[in-house]
Structure 1
Amino acid sequence: MGISPWQLLIVLLIVLVLFGGKRLRSLGGDLGGAIRDFRKAANKQPEDSEQ
């Protein structure tokens, strides 16, 4: 039993009412930047991998 589209819509509306559109855009941008930085760090090869 999963989440129905109606339940998801209701949760999204509640979050929008609680935080507001401007703050959600700010949070989304911050989250996107954090994910991007994490991926860069995860894909970065250590320079001294051979010892």
Structure 2
Amino acid sequence: MGSLSIWHWLIVLGIVMLLFGRGRISGLLGDIGQGIGSLKRHLKD
């Protein structure tokens, strides 16, 4: 009951794609990736 099946995740992903659109999600993921990379560089210094 606590975990979600693959079908639940696919439905949630589909709803998110409909709400935000494909370009906005890819831009957001790119920004998150850049932020993580920047954080790793700063922690390394």
Query: For the superposition of Structure 1 and Structure 2, which TM-score range results when normalised by the shorter chain?
Result: 0.7 to 0.9
Listed as ranges, the gaps of 5+ residues in structure 1 are 45-51
For 1:16, the aligned partner's letter is M
Report the structure, 1 or 2, having the larger helix content.
Answer: 2
Query: Taking structure 1 as the reference length, what is the TM-score of the superposition?
Result: 0.77
Q: Percent identity?
A: 39
Query: Taking structure 2 as the reference length, what is the TM-score of the superposition?
Result: 0.86
Q: Which structure would you say has the larger Rg? A: 1
Q: Give the number of equivalent residue pairs.
A: 44
Q: Which of structures 1 and 2 has the larger relative contact order (alpha carbons within 8 angstroms, sep 6+)?
A: 2
State the superposition RMSD in angstroms: 0.9
Moved over 6 A (4+): none
